[in-house]
Amino acid sequence: MKRWVKMIRFIGGLCLVTLLGIAYVSYLCHNSLCLAPEHSSLSPRYSVSSSSSSSRSEILSSPASLVKLIGGFPSKVNIESVAFQEAYNMGFDITSRDVIVFLHIQKTGGTTFGRHLVRDLNLENPCNCPRKRKRCDCFRPNTVNEQWLFSRYSTGWKCGLHADWTELTDCVEGALDEYEGTSRKRRYFFITVLRDPIHRYLSEFRHVQRGATWKSARHWCGGQEFTSLPHCYKGSNWTGVELDEFMNCSYNLAHNRQTRMLADLTLAGCYTGYNTTADQLERDKILLQSAKQNLASMAYFGLTEEQATSQYIFERTFHLDFANPFDQANATLSAQAIAKLTPVQIERVRQLNSLDNELLEFARQLLHERFKMLKRRDPHFRRNWLRVIHPHNYNQLSHDHVVSLLNPLPATLACNPNLMKLGNCYSLHKSPAIFI
């Protein structure tokens, strides 16, 4: 009898030690990819190119089904993503299973664009936007809870505050299933807006300086939430921070934010070792190539500095028109900040956003290619383009004025004196957008 008691105690002790060991290892591996062998978080199966003139044909050939590599283990995100060409050919069916998903990057003008989506689209059944309520009900015709738009002003931040590509592709279907109370397969039309990286970065700096933190962002990646990312500040916020301090924080998520938010972060080990020197060059290449590929595979993206062109592309891609145009104005808070910068600070901002700069150049070329293709195929281009840039009086324009306006990308450029420091000029017919 005593022998059995001793054996039971021995087995129980062994189990207890095993459980304690598992708990200890789990604690050490919190927010890391412990199953991955050394260096495997930078997936060798993902081809990269450091050249800014990467072959767009390679990037545009990305598959519609989205595949992730988590710590070297393949994991499918089983959603149907519609690319630009398919969106243009087939259009957007608001009565069926199509959903527009807006990936809203901070300080790119997404708030204004988001309001256009819920308030200004000419729809037979427009979104219902009650007074004194931020969100609108964007339900499909003849339904009571089926959403055709997944965005801040329709569903709210269902996948987390300013969810990025990695979060959205992993979350959106489950979030809609939960919201609508039923499981269904949908077609997803991902869209976003990009902005000149230096202006966006300085706009974010000014926003943080006034007290913004985005503390509630989830940073979901690889099946887990990264809750222990370090903050650049002590206390509740970073109010009053100076630019040099803002730039000197190596783990500031403002650096290259657009590239990070458009890339598949699982390919580079999620947030494990984020912004550390180890393998940083290889990580940057992976993130930049992934961001380009995901941008090219989206149904639509616009550029803050090219509002009219962006509006035209959206309308022709989705076969939907906006009642009110995408306005542009002359001044921005970021331009005010630029005027106060030294040449050293300007160069430092540029370096911190080098990936975003390369991503923007790729985006500009792709945007102009899409515009030219849509223009070529649009039998009513003159009417549609003039309605975008002169919505209230385009029928009364003189012939000479019409001719001068039919080329939306003129060679003649004008520069705001503050922007000349950065070498950023804009077309004469539209001035830089006001987004703060």
**From the candidates 116, 162, 219, 255, which is the catalytic residue?**
162
Using a 10 angstrom Cβ sphere, with 0-12 exposed, 13-18 middle and 19 or more buried, the burial of residue 188 is buried
Q: Is 162 a catalytic residue?
A: yes
Phi then psi for 171, rounded to 5 degrees? -115, -30
Q: 394: number of CA atoms within 13 Å, CB side? A: 15
Strands (DSSP E) found in 186-293? 187-194, 220-221, 224-225
Length of the chain: 436
CA distance 93 to 290: 28
CA distance 4 to 310: 78
CA distance 213 to 319: 37
CA distance 266 to 379: 43
- Integer angstrom CA distances of residue 66 from 236, 294, 344: 37, 10, 41
Where in the sequence numbering do the catalytic residues fall?
Answer: 162
